Amino acid sequence: MNDSDRLGQGASADLASIVERRLDRSAFKEHHWEGSFWDYLDTCVENPGVARNAYQRLFDAILSHGSERYKLFKKDCIRYHFFSDPIDDGADAIFGLDFALMQLVDVVRAAAEGYGTDKRILLLHGPVGSSKSTIARLLKKGMEHYSRTPEGALYSFSWMLDDNCEVTPMDGSPHEAQRTHAFHSPMHEDPLVLIPREARDDVVDRLNANFKPESYNGRLRIYGEPDPFSRKVLEDLMRFYDGDWSKAMGHVRVRRIVLSEKDRVGIGTFQPKDEKNQDSTELTGDINYRKIAQFGSDSDPRAFNFDGELNIANRGVCEFIEVLKLDVAFLYDLLGASQEHLIKPKKFAQTHIDEVIIGHTNEPEYKRLQSNEMMEAFRDRTIKIDIPYNIRLSDEVKIYQKDFGPSRVRGVHIAPHTLEVAAMWAVLTRLDEPKKAGLTLMQKMKLYDGKAISGFTEDSVKELKEEAPREGMDGISPRFVQDKVSNALVSGQAIEEKSINPFMVLNALERGLDHHSLLNDEETKKKYRELLSVVKEEYEDIIKGEVQRAISADEEAIKRLCANYIENVRAYTQKEKVVNRYTGKDEEPDERLMRSIEEKIDIPEARKDDFRQEVMNYIGALALDDKKFEYNTNARLYKALELKLFEDQRDTIKLKNLVSSVVDDETQAKIDVVKQRLIKNFGYNETSATDVLNYVASIFARGDSKSA
């Protein structure tokens, strides 16, 4: 029984049907379309965008996923959804680098317009682990994906010749050459390069008349001459047909191509190797010695492999990993490749390329480039784009959530704030000490993250950012944090308890500093350890606040407290009396109650009247909009009510008793209620909720209760 017979039987049929449902045959046919040269010209007239250059395609690929505008540090910012990696559901998503990515996209746009940046190498520069490689990978992935869409379709061609790649007459038709075998354009060139130079301007003018891109004003151009292989074939055909170009084009078979790094079509990557083994032919191709005997000369382009990285990346993107570690001979090749869009294959004339060249490097190599007077020409042909670390806490947290979220980590519970404290420490190491008096580094981080701090405005945040232009170019790499979180997840304690908490991760980070391969400065290590202590203090405040909210989360009790407060405030502002519910007598508003709540959010005695009037105005404004005031409608008042209720209930729960060996049944029942609230409302499990309650109890037991 052969495979096709087995396909409809048993379990294999179910699996096969799954595969069949996922395959799109119509898309396959579109991606493998073939037609004549004249068919392609018709396509160009209908859709001139098929003739865009590499930069224009890259810019359109980025914009095809949309964008959004917002304000950051009082500056206009654009978030391009392309860099959230919608292609792979966020696998390579970039977080918090919108300003740097805006600069990159601006450069690409200028190149798409033809303003000169298309003649430069894009150099991503930044510290290790700042997402330089990920950005390059996204650009390559995006170009691949875009080439599969109808909007991103592009085409190359094959030559139809005899089986020896010769122009030979057909049997019985001496004036027609054989067309039995297809030989692909080795550099995936646009068929329009086959149009003679004398006619190109008129053809391009016709195409540009219909070319109306939405997002830029660039024009179409036909670049350069065919590669040496196609040039020779075209010359042989023109000689055979006595200069009849139309008949020569009858041997051209146009085909749609899909860019693919794996198939080495339009996407290339070059990585430095040992200097002794480096050879510039890896960039520009090399002689195929087996074919020299067939074609008789090593200068015959048919005996040459146009398979260097710059050759195969034509029409797309070529990435140079750690570009400044390349041997000087390679950098010389890049000079012409960038400025003139020309490369020099061995024994052949300069050959035109159309591709985005993007490299990345870190600071030590870039400083060495700056100090090397012999590399002025290379420096002049690069556009440096700084890719710093995140300096916004919420964005840094997203990096770790992507790697350690529920879909990736199973069997081990990650307690709330575990990833947050790790991110907090990483961001703090990247910030400069604020110059403003009375502002701590922790507060500066919170301001950067959009949190409100009394006495500081958006202008303050803008000033802080401007006084520290290099923020994010130093500090701890996300990779270091990811490694230490991984260590904590596989530690004996985590496996035994099936849980990790912030202290386990912070301890792992502290131990890792002793062996950090990039940290040799003891002063820096000391500073980073001090920041770990700062983070621990912040974490203690966070969990004390959560326990407070869990204790005061009796909804009915907080509603009653809120109603009581509002009733007294209304009477106070209206200069009325309050009816005592128990005695039925009119009494003055309960000043002690109102102040006990207002003091929880630092409302001074001198401002109490203003605050109470604000509350009544707020309630009145809601009423005008047909909205009802609830106990949790006003966030500031809600916090004050929570803190007041916590203060009233804390002694009844006797949380401090947790650190002793004896807890009575009544207290234990109340503690269990609090624990369940932590689990339900804050994401703890049984183990982590118990740990947090015990830890907060120990804080109260030692009298450290500044938030209580």
Q: 21 vs 253, which has greater pLDDT?
A: 253
CB 155 within 8 A of CB 190: yes
Residue 708, pLDDT above cutoff 50: no
Q: State how far the Cα of 349 lies from the Cα of 121, in Å rounded to an integer.
A: 23
Q: pLDDT tens digit string along 44-91?
A: 999 999 999 999 999 999 999 999 998 887 788 999 999 999 999 999
pLDDT for residue 706: 43
* H-assigned helices in 552-664: 555-573, 591-598, 608-624, 635-653
Question: For 628-648, what is the mean pLDDT?
Answer: 83
Lowest mean pLDDT among 139-148, 194-203, 225-234, 363-372: 363-372
Q: Which residues of 362-384 are buried (b: 16+ CB within 10 A; e: fewer)?
A: beebbeebeeeeebeebeebbbb
Return the half-sphere exposure (C-beta side, CA atoms, 13 A cut-off) of residue 530: 8
Question: For 312-326, what is the mean pLDDT?
Answer: 93
Residue whose token pair is 């006619």: 199
Residue 119, pLDDT above cutoff 70: yes
Question: For 328-352, what is the mean pLDDT?
Answer: 89
Residue 6, pLDDT above cutoff 60: no
The alpha carbon of 582 is separated from its chain's Cα centroid by a whole number of angstroms, namely 62
Q: State how far the Cα of 163 lies from the Cα of 175, in Å rounded to an integer.
A: 18
Local confidence band at 705 (pLDDT 50, 70, 90 cut-offs): very low
Q: State how far the Cα of 565 lies from the Cα of 499, in Å rounded to an integer.
A: 42
pLDDT for residue 707: 41
Question: For 597-622, what is the mean pLDDT?
Answer: 90
pLDDT for residue 243: 95
Q: 206 vs 73, which has greater pLDDT?
A: 206
CB 355 within 8 A of CB 261: no
Residue 668, pLDDT above cutoff 80: no
Q: Count H helices and E strands in the chain, helices first.
A: 30, 21
Lowest mean pLDDT among 314-323, 405-414, 632-641, 651-660: 651-660
pLDDT for residue 622: 87
CB 74 within 8 A of CB 461: yes
Strand segments, DSSP code E, in 103-213 are: 121-125, 154-161, 169-170, 173-177, 181-184
Strand partners, 359: 123, 320
Q: Which residues of 522-557 are buried (b: 16+ CB within 10 A; e: fewer)?
A: eebeeebeebbebbeebbbebbbbbbbbbbbbeeee
Local confidence band at 660 (pLDDT 50, 70, 90 cut-offs): low
Predicted TM-score of the model (pTM):
0.85
Q: pLDDT tens digit string along 374-389?
A: 788 888 999 999 999 9
Mean of all residue pLDDT scores within the chain: 89
Q: State how far the Cα of 133 lies from the Cα of 146, in Å rounded to an integer.
A: 20
CB 455 within 8 A of CB 475: no
